[in-house]
């Protein structure tokens, strides 16, 4: 397995946006069912201009996809469709690699921090923009991972709501995260993708319920037949949108305080 340096090189090599010409020859475009070299663990590229092996191509696609998933530090919410499509691509590659036996699961987490640490890093990177919203610790993560959980202390959640610029302050942690990205690539942590949407379910789900007004034990998508489906969506309507924002704010602060 190539080390982090070559993974970086492959990813870096693909990253020039002006380079429209596909790095990988057209005939070898990851088509399944095409005859390909037996994966033998030898990843030497056979001469600089020659076609990289299928495995190398697949690996670089996986690496590129992981980078894409993790670089979602934006001020605006990342595009969900794009994230889902990339995550599905990663899953497909992982499945195929598992079938090939190319997917090496890391040793069981006896050593404690290792793989979990990487899982957490991935989550953190994708949550960076929303991590201010109530530092509810995920219940299944051991509590002694303060480093990975990063700078924002729970107490700052409240202040973040009031300071529009707080999200910018956390950008400073980004360069550190790059190391975490490549750590992840190196160890091939299983399904970092699983962590991607995990947190979106947690606090989001409650906020979701609040914002769309569908609270009160609604049993989920299928259960809303009849009158429940006609439940009013949207917070109770104050006259000005300013009042509405403050109303939501109060509601949210209540939730944060209660949990």
Partner 1 sequence: MAGAGGGGCPAGGNDLQWCFSQVKGAVDEDVAEADIISTVEFNYSGDLLATGDKGGRVVIFQREQENKSRPHSRGEYNVYSTFQSHEPEFDYLKSLEIEEKINKIRWLPQQNAAHFLLSTNDKTIKLWKISERDKRAEGYNLKDEDGRLRDPFRITALRVPILKPMDLMVEASPRRIFANAHTYHINSISVNSDHETYLSADDLRINLWHLEITDRSFNIVDIKPANMEELTEVITAAELHPLQCNVFVYSSSKGTVRLCDMRASALCDRHAKFFEEPEDPSSRSFFSEIISSISDVKFSHSGRYMMTRDYLSVKVWDLNMESRPVETHQVHEYLRGKLCSLYENDCVFDKFECCWNGPDSAIMTGSYNNFFRMFDRNTRRDVTLEASRESSRPRASLKPRRVCPGGRRKKDEISVDSLDFNKKILHTAWHPADNVIAVAATNNLYIFQDKVN
Q: Rounded to the nearest whole angstrom, what is the least distance from the CB of residue 78 to partner 1 in the complex?
A: 9
Site residues for partner 1, window 54-83 (CB under 8 A)?
58, 61, 64, 68, 75-77, 79-82
Minimum CB distance to partner 1 smaller for 7 or for 110: 7
Minimum CB distance to partner 1 smaller for 129 or for 178: 129
Q: Rounded to the nearest whole angstrom, what is the least distance from the CB of residue 232 to partner 1 in the complex?
A: 4
Residue 143 binds to partner 1 (criterion: CB under 8 A): no
Helix H or strand E segment including 225:
none
Minimum CB distance to partner 1 smaller for 1 or for 29: 29
Q: Rounded to the nearest whole angstrom, what is the least distance from the CB of residue 211 to partner 1 in the complex?
A: 6
Which residue, among 161, 108, 101, has the nearest Cα to 131 in the 3D structure?
A: 161
Site residues for partner 1, window 98-127 (CB under 8 A)?
none
Minimum CB distance to partner 1 smaller for 17 or for 107: 17
Q: Rounded to the nearest whole angstrom, what is the least distance from the CB of residue 198 to partner 1 in the complex?
A: 5
Contacts of 62 (CB under 8 A, 6+ apart): 90, 93, 94, 97
Per DSSP, 233 falls in state P
Interaction pattern, residues 211-230, with partner 1; x per rule: CB under 8 A: xxxx-----xxx-xxx--xx
100-108, 143-151, 172-180, 245-253 -> range binding partner 1 (CB under 8 A)? 245-253
Site residues for partner 1, window 6-25 (CB under 8 A)?
14-15, 17, 19-24
Distance separating alpha carbons of residues 92 and 81, to the nearest angstrom: 17
Per DSSP, 186 falls in state H
Distance separating alpha carbons of residues 83 and 200, to the nearest angstrom: 12
Site residues for partner 1, window 34-53 (CB under 8 A)?
none
Helix H or strand E segment including 191:
none
Q: Which two tokens stand for residue 92?
A: 């497909």
Contact status, residue 37 vs residue 54, Cβ threshold 8 Å? yes
Distance separating alpha carbons of residues 24 and 182, to the nearest angstrom: 22
Please count the other Cβ atoms lying within 10 Å of the Cβ belonging to residue 202.
13
Q: Rounded to the nearest whole angstrom, what is the least distance from the CB of residue 37 to partner 1 in the complex?
A: 18
């Amino acid at each position: 397995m190539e080390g982090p340096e070559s993974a970086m090189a492959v990813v870096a090599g693909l990253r020039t946006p002006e380079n429209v010409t596909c790095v990988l020859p057209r005939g070898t475009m990851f088509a399944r069912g095409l005859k390909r070299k037996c994966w033998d663990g030898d990843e030497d590229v056979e001469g600089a201009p020659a076609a990289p092996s299928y495995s190398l191509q697949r690996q670089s696609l996986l690496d590129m996809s992981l980078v894409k998933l993790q670089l979602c530090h934006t001020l605006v919410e990342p595009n969900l469709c794009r994230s889902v499509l990339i995550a599905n691509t990663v899953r497909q590659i992982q499945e195929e690699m598992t079938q090939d036996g190319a997917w090496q699961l890391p040793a069981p987490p006896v050593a404690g921090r290792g793989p979990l640490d990487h899982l957490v890093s991935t989550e953190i990177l994708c949550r960076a923009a929303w991590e201010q919203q109530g530092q509810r610790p995920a219940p299944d993560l051991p509590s002694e991972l303060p480093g990975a959980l990063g700078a924002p202390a729970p107490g700052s959640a409240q202040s973040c709501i009031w300071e529009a610029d707080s999200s910018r302050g956390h950008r400073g942690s980004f360069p550190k995260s790059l190391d975490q990205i490549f750590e992840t690539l190196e160890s091939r942590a299983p399904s970092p993708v699983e962590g991607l949407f995990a947190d979106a379910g947690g606090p989001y789900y409650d906020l979701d319920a609040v914002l769309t007004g569908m609270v009160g034990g609604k049993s989920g998508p299928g259960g809303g037949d009849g009158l429940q489906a006609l439940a009013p969506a949207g917070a109770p309507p104050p006259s000005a949108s300013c009042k509405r924002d403050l109303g939501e704010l109060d509601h949210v602060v209540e939730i944060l305080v209660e949990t």
